[in-house]
Structure 1
Amino acid sequence: MAAHPFGSGTRGRVESLSRRRKVIADRMHRSLQESAQLTTMIEVDLSHVVRIREAAKDTFRSRYGVALSVLPFVAEAAVRALAGHPVINAELDLAAGTVTHPAGVGLGIAVDTDEGLVVPVIRDAGDLTVGVLARHIAHLAARARDGSATADDFAGGTFTITNTGSRGGLFDTPIVNAPQSAILGLGAVTRRPVALRGPDGDDLIAVHPMAYLSLTYDHRLVDGADAAGYLTSVKGRLEAPDHTWPHSLGIAEIAK
């Protein structure tokens, strides 16, 4: 068997950074330099989400031509939770001594492209259903990757979600998309044993689809209690069956 040189694809080369990579590098560095960033994590049981997704995915794809993943469920829960935790959706201007609370939610979705990470925005995301969010996410990601996205697609973000689990990562500590105050990371959904309380009060062990959510936030504005409270609100919505999900996805008759 022939030996292949280690790192043969890039080893021994010097290449110029692309314009997009330079912009990403500058923004990420400035974000870390200009804010005090901290990450809080929480574990979420996605049993109800996975059950609804499995029931809906074929009908959803045939009807709308896009795949249905766990991400839009998390996005819907994350956006809904912002109403009770507005500081997570705020912007600090320390020099001016002000905090800006936007009128709505501009939901940024981090998309991995061949030229680097970009963050297209779903504007006025506050009242969108899981089904509508799923279509927006798929269409924005497609435009970002094929180069057809416009500058308007990247404007107006107030809060960002990054799906590190799409490549198998269990969790990470994402960098805040400044000047926003927080970014939510979704880790991979993995089936693993968890301890549960049975109906008779006894402890049980069962295998459930679990995932980690990580919230990185600007500690100059957001306190740990704010971050933990927000994550708990997101977790509560994802773990409690939601009657609007099947209707939003067009499978009400299946999910009963």
Structure 2
Amino acid sequence: MLPQSRHRHLVSLIGLCDENSEMIIVYEFMEKGTLKNHLYDLDDDDSKKLSWRQRLEICVGATTGLHYLHTGSARAVIHRDVKSANILLDESFMAKVADFGLSKTGPDLDQTHVSTAVKGSFGYLDPEYLTRQQLTEKSDVYSFGVVMLEVLYGRPVIDPSLPREEEILDPFLEGKVKNEEMKKCLGQNGSERPTMGDLLWNLEFLLQVQAKDEKAAMVDDDLEASVAGSNALVPEDLMVVVANIPLKDLKAGTSMGNVSYGVMSAC
């Protein structure tokens, strides 16, 4: 399936060798490794830390690749294992989606889903797919929503060192959490979620505004940066995208206030 899917935001297959019952697959080298490696457990290595601008660009790149999988051929290709470890970064931090081992062709035009055994990574699995074995493009959307939350808060999906009720919730956000926001960004039903194309449009818009405001106000790229009087977007604005709140309903420069997300097990 991968050789037929050539795109600048999909990891390229360089070569394939199948001899003497041994198969070797060669992919392009991605110098900066996985997105996951740049989000947490950095050991104070500043060279791995991503600015807010870089995080937005990575989300746009990964969404572009996934959107191509969903729409680039007569039948959609569903990745089925979207996670931060499967988003790779080249020498310029351009994101490319990788690992198509679990990918599956999407439903026919007269079907709404593909019935198939559940496969993927725990913590990223679409609950609708997990409980009904009904796979759709919206299953990838759910998984990517989890990735965007990782990007926002720099925390793993599941942290065994924390109590179950805090597995995905940063303790710093205690008292600011609104489970309603989490339910919007990761809807239980696929019909509640945006398409990958919708996500891409919104992310590109945010990136354009971010670039414009950085140039005008010399805004620091750090996730916690804020400049009095500027209209620069802050990390919470990504939650607008994940929650699928229409951008037209927001005024330029407005923050969503105390925006955060709920416990994964509550979804």
- Of Structure 1 and Structure 2, which has the larger fraction of its residues in strand? 1
Q: Which has the higher contact order (CA 8 A, sep 6+)?
A: 1
Taking structure 2 as the reference length, what is the TM-score of the superposition?
Answer: 0.22
Q: TM-score, normalised by structure 1?
A: 0.23
State which structure, 1 or 2, has the greater radius of gyration over its C-alpha atoms: 1
